[in-house]
Amino acid sequence: MFEFEKNFTKEKLELLSKSRNEPQWVLEKRKKAFDAFQALNWPTKQEEDWRRTDFSPLEKSNFDLNRFLNSSKFITNGSASLTTSGQPTAQFSAQLLQSDSESIFSGEAEFKSSKIIFTDLDSAIKNHSEILSKYSDLINPNDGKFLAFNKAFWNKGMLLYVPKGVTVSLPLYHQLNLKSSGWGVFPYTIIIAEPNSKIILVDDYTSQEQKDWAFSDALTEIYLQRDAQLIYVNSQRWSGNVYHLLRQKAKLEANAQLITLTVNLGSQKSRSEIETELAGSGASAYIFGLTIGNGQQTFEQHTLQDHKAPHTTSDLLFKTALLDSAYAVYSGLIKVEKQAQKTDAYQANRNLLLSDKAKADTLPKLEILANDVRCTHGATVGPIDPEQFFYLISRGIEDKVAKQLLIEGFFDEVLGRIKENGFKDKIKEFLEEKIVE
């Protein structure tokens, strides 16, 4: 047995649950996931799905779980902390800022009267177990080693519950900001949007530069009930020596509408799996991805557009810009089940290579079992358009700035396709930070 599994045992799991004063049903769920984690093999490079990015160093790494046991202290309306984190409150209706040891919540008046639950997962277990026990099973722990690991050992988390008919115009902001060294964070996010509700959530992972390796294994479950609408942004800005894994699954009931945007900027090696199940007739999903890689960064992104009901729509656009020796893999599947007639599905992956050492692999896939459908996909890999570049520098713009402008323009297509504006400045800010670097 390798170091990793030696450190994550059933005894440690029980200790973790106990130190957080969790009720029995939570421990039982953790244990079930642990059994799946133990039974599953570590993914190896021999498997087609795992051969492009090597996560085996994780298996041999020596993470000490004892350091990640404690739950954080929950502070409501800690306004002092809001200013120190430099987040102006006005653009969000509520914020939940989680650091190594604290969770700080603050909300505007509009939010407070809305009956929305927006809290860290430990508090949710204490106060809203009736909701949690009903959901939190969208992702089956048997489906993968790392997601089983998260379901067993999750140590941060968030619940967003939007009751029937509630709509909030300003976005919610959730941040996980880690400052310690050599951390392991396993965030578990649950979003439940009841019928006819409407909300925007920005989920932001960030950390301080540190010496030791760190490990993030995140899980997001999204339940969209009839006619619910959600915009969910998951942004990853981890520091450079992090291994990051994300599994996100959304299930859309009839006429629900999801816009999901995955932003990948940080970490050394990252792998995101974004699954969207269109389970109810008339459901529609707009699935976007923005990635900028530099240095030795590796990004692997898998998507599944799973059409299970008739008259469903999905539209996917993943854009990636790569500098230095960065490497990106996109592997996406549109799956149309037999009963999902009148499906309209689209999938596009665009890669911009900005250095002669950058590499991109793209595998857009279709599996179509219904005939009355319209499914199209496209993928491109290429450099900056030399004509556009020439146009800019001929107008006296420096090479470097011209390149930056063109990258920004490249990403504008994605943001331009989302109508709601409230959260875009934040995303642009993240992108610009990275582009200038």
Residues contributing to the site for other proteins (CB under 8 A): 48, 338, 341, 351, 353-383
Helices (H) and strands (E) in the chain, counts: 12, 21
What amino acid is encoded at 282 in this protein?
G
Beta carbon of residue 368, minimum distance to other proteins (angstroms, whole number): 5
For other proteins, the closer of residues 44 and 169 by Cβ is: 44
For other proteins, the closer of residues 141 and 293 by Cβ is: 293
Beta carbon of residue 45, minimum distance to other proteins (angstroms, whole number): 15
For other proteins, the closer of residues 131 and 379 by Cβ is: 379
For other proteins, the closer of residues 15 and 379 by Cβ is: 379
Beta carbon of residue 338, minimum distance to other proteins (angstroms, whole number): 7
Beta carbon of residue 84, minimum distance to other proteins (angstroms, whole number): 42
Distance CA 242, CA 61 (A): 12
Distance CA 290, CA 197 (A): 27
* DSSP string computed for 327-380: EEEEEEEEEE-TT-TT-EEEEEEEEEE-STT-EEEEEEEEEE--SS-EEEEEEE
Contacts 24+ apart (CB under 8 A), 400-408: 403/354, 404/435, 404/436, 407/292, 407/321, 407/352, 407/354, 407/435, 408/432, 408/435
For other proteins, the closer of residues 77 and 380 by Cβ is: 380
CA dihedral 161, 167, 169, 175 (to 10 degrees): 0
Phi, psi of 82, rounded to the nearest 5 degrees = -60, -45
Beta carbon of residue 350, minimum distance to other proteins (angstroms, whole number): 10
CA angle centred on 122, ends 120 and 125, rounded to 5°: 110
For other proteins, the closer of residues 190 and 287 by Cβ is: 287
Q: List the alpha helices (DSSP H) in 50-144.
A: 56-60, 79-84, 109-112, 121-127, 129-134
Beta carbon of residue 387, minimum distance to other proteins (angstroms, whole number): 13
Q: List the alpha helices (DSSP H) in 155-244.
A: none
Beta carbon of residue 354, minimum distance to other proteins (angstroms, whole number): 7
**Helix (H), strand (E) at residue 306:** strand 298-307
Phi, psi of 355, rounded to the nearest 5 degrees = -150, 155
Beta carbon of residue 432, minimum distance to other proteins (angstroms, whole number): 23
103 and 120 Cβ atoms separated by less than 8 Å: yes
Distance CA 91, CA 423 (A): 8
For other proteins, the closer of residues 87 and 320 by Cβ is: 320
For other proteins, the closer of residues 54 and 425 by Cβ is: 54
